[in-house]
Amino acid sequence: MLRRLVTVRKVTDIQPIKGADRIEIALVDGWQCIVKKDGFQKGQLGVFFEIDSFLPAEDPRWAFLEPNFINWNGHRGFRVKSQKMRGHISQGLLIPLGDFPELAGILKKLEDEHGREEAEKLSQKSSFEDVLKVQKWEAMHSKTSGWSEIPKEPIPSFIRKTDQERCQNLPDVFEEWKDEIFQESTKMDGSSMTAYFVRNDSDKLPELSEADAAKQPTAVLPNGRFGVCSRNVDIAEDNNNSDTGPQYWRVAKRNKLPEQLAGLNRNLAVQGELCGATVQSNFEGFPVGFHVFFVFAVWDIDAQKYLPPKETEAMAKQLGLRHVPVIGYFPLREIATSVPDLLQRAEGIGLNKRKREGIVLKHVGSDFSFKAISNSYLLKHGK
């Protein structure tokens, strides 16, 4: 699912903060956002910038945030993150819709075409980061020295990119899916990694760039092509043996993924989280030199859908790989009945007896899934 960072949303409630006379709480969908007092009323529309939005310094509408501007990726601006004020969490930035004539124009057009009620619904489904030049903030990793020299292509379009919607953006999910069974798993904080195999007779093969069997003996196999991707890019086979940075190919080879996937002789992409001491901030606390690939999905390239969670678990086992920890399979109503309820549950213990990043809930009967990130993780890591 495409991440929608900037949306028009309705304030569902305003709540006072004890002892504070300048600020109050605005609720938008499953989010709680602290705003200036009397800036919003219940039912009012606002432009909501989700956490991880990076707002360009040039726009005067957030000039008041200037003292907190940062430099990121060659730009100056404001990074929206979780904060705690007067003991209450505040996530996102909410600005009255009236401050955005460019969006009001778009809304007016929608209203003329579809009527007011429908226009409001449609606007809440659209995303306006491009109009407002907002980017998704992402940590800049100093990957392995040599990482920048390795040739890369975009991840093949026939593989679904790994992503999870935040539960705060799905406030109706608990009512709509309450009797459905979900797999609850621990969310691991590493880097997304995908290993795929495409048979020589597949119609998807032409999308892959030419590879020279002499230079890339593991990518070009007798019965098809094997590849390794990070979340966004397909990484050319390399023989990086350094102990720093993510080690996608090294981990794939050590787990015998090329020969195993070629052995299955199916068009499949195995997706998981690459975790280790040199990946991200090593939140899970792994020892140096240790890298594990924790499977969380298997994408069926021919069917263009995910294998059901139980089959994914079985496939991981068959391949001798670890699967992300599965807490269990439950009807959603037994897991949680509201966003705050689920966020509370996300605060739990993960691997290595540490507090976990969060949980991921996957519907057993479809490709629908979403995540709940623990607020203490977000606050602790400045996200």
- Rounded to a whole number of angstroms, the minimum distance from the CB of residue 357 to ligand AMP is 7
Token representation of residue 15: 């709540």
Complete edge-to-edge strand list for the sheet that includes strand 358-363? 165-166, 369-373, 358-363, 181-187, 326-331
Provide the mask over 82-101, with x wherever binding to ligand AMP is found by CB under 6 A and - wherever it is not.
--------------------
Q: Of 91, 144, 164, 374, which lies in the binding site for ligand AMP, with binding defined by CB under 6 A?
A: 164
Cβ–Cβ under 8 Å, residues 128 and 6: yes
**CB-wise, 8 or 332, nearer to ligand AMP?**
332
- Pairing mode of beta strands 224-229, 181-187: unpaired
DSSP for 194-222 reads EEEEEETT-TTGGGSPP--TTT-TTTEET
Q: Of 184, 234, 273, 313, which lies in the binding site for ligand AMP, with binding defined by CB under 6 A?
A: 273
- Rounded to a whole number of angstroms, the minimum distance from the CB of residue 269 to ligand AMP is 13
Cβ–Cβ under 8 Å, residues 40 and 88: no
Q: Is 163 in the site for ligand AMP (CB under 6 A)?
A: yes
Q: Of 91, 185, 202, 280, which lies in the binding site for ligand AMP, with binding defined by CB under 6 A?
A: 185
**CB-wise, 29 or 273, nearer to ligand AMP?**
273
Q: Is 218 in the site for ligand AMP (CB under 6 A)?
A: no
Q: Is 169 in the site for ligand AMP (CB under 6 A)?
A: no
Residues binding ligand AMP: number (CB under 6 A): 14
- Bridge partners (DSSP) listed for residue 234: 153, 229
Q: Candidates 80-88, 109-117, 185-193, 313-321 — which segment interacts with ligand AMP by CB under 6 A?
A: 185-193
**Mapping DSSP to helix (H, G, I), strand (E, B) and coil, where does residue 81 land?**
coil
Distance CA 255, CA 268 (A): 16
Token representation of residue 340: 């705050």
Q: Candidates 26-34, 161-169, 220-228, 277-285 — which segment interacts with ligand AMP by CB under 6 A?
A: 161-169
**CB-wise, 315 or 324, nearer to ligand AMP?**
324
Cβ–Cβ under 8 Å, residues 276 and 190: yes
Q: Candidates 90-98, 128-136, 160-168, 307-315 — which segment interacts with ligand AMP by CB under 6 A?
A: 160-168
Q: Candidates 4-12, 90-98, 152-160, 162-170 — which segment interacts with ligand AMP by CB under 6 A?
A: 162-170
**CB-wise, 133 or 322, nearer to ligand AMP?**
322
Cβ–Cβ under 8 Å, residues 141 and 73: no
Q: Of 160, 187, 199, 291, which lies in the binding site for ligand AMP, with binding defined by CB under 6 A?
A: 187
Distance CA 47, CA 8 (A): 5
- Judged by CB under 6 A, the chain residues 304 through 343 that form the site for ligand AMP are 324
**CB-wise, 237 or 357, nearer to ligand AMP?**
357
Q: Of 54, 177, 296, 370, which lies in the binding site for ligand AMP, with binding defined by CB under 6 A?
A: 296
Q: Is 138 in the site for ligand AMP (CB under 6 A)?
A: no
Distance CA 359, CA 348 (A): 9
Q: At what angle do helices 101-114 and 116-125 cross, to 10 degrees?
A: 130
Q: Of 360, 361, 372, 378, which lies in the binding site for ligand AMP, with binding defined by CB under 6 A?
A: 360
Provide the b/e sequence for 36-68 (b: ≥16 CB within 10 Å). Answer: eeebbeeebbbbbbbbbbbbebeeeebeeeeee
Please classify residue 130 by burial: count the beta carbons closer than 10 Å to its beta carbon, then call 0-12 exposed, 13-18 middle and 19+ buried.
exposed
Provide the mask over 32-71, with x wherever binding to ligand AMP is found by CB under 6 A and - wherever it is not.
----------------------------------------
Q: Candidates 23-31, 37-45, 182-190, 374-382 — which segment interacts with ligand AMP by CB under 6 A?
A: 182-190
Q: Candidates 148-156, 179-187, 204-212, 310-318 — which segment interacts with ligand AMP by CB under 6 A?
A: 179-187
Nearest to 32 by CA among 140, 168, 167: 168
Can you give the binding site for ligand AMP, defined by CB under 6 A? 162-164, 185-188, 192, 231, 273, 296, 324, 360, 371
